[in-house]
Amino acid sequence: MNPDTMLVEPDTIVNARVQVGESGASPSLEALIAVEPALGAFIQESLAAVAGKIALSGAPGQLVQGVHEEVLTLLLTCVQAVRRGHYELWKETTIGTRLEELAPDLKPKPKPKRSRRRSRKPGPDENPPKP
C-alpha cells in the first residue's frame, strides 16, 4: 500500500538508477548542474569534502574514488527520482507553462512506432506461393 504523500514509486527509483548508470555519474552530475546549478554545485562541493575527509583518514586512493563514485550515483539517483516524481505529480498542470520548458529531460520519450509488415504480393515474374 502506498501512502498518499509518496512521490517516488519503486520503479521510478529503478528507472532513475538505470539512467544514471547508462549516462555515467559525471555526465549525470553535469546534466543536473545545467538544470539545477545551485543543487548540483552543492552536491559536487559536499561530496568533494567527504572524499577529502576519507582520504585524510588514510584510506587508499582507489577506495576514496570508489566511495565518491558510489555516493555520487546514489545522490543523483535520488535527485532524479524525486524530480521525476514531482513531474508526474504536476505534469497535467505544466502544459504551456515555463515549468514545462525548464524540465524537458523529464518528459517521457515517445515510444517508437512499430512498422507493420505488409504481405508482399508476388510480382509478374515471380511464382505465387502454392497452398
The pLDDT value recorded for residue 86 is 81
* Per-residue pLDDT band at 1 (split at 50, 70, 90): very low
Mean pLDDT for the chain overall: 82
Q: pTM of this prediction?
A: 0.66
pLDDT, tens digit, 9 for 90 and up, residues 51-87: 999 999 999 999 999 999 999 999 999 999 999 888 8
Question: Are 12 and 85 spatial neighbours (Cβ–Cβ below 8 Å)?
Answer: yes
Task: Give the up-direction half-sphere exposure of residue 80: CA atoms within 13 A in the CB hemisphere.
Answer: 29
The pLDDT value recorded for residue 32 is 93
Question: Are 95 and 79 spatial neighbours (Cβ–Cβ below 8 Å)?
Answer: no
Question: Are 76 and 20 spatial neighbours (Cβ–Cβ below 8 Å)?
Answer: yes
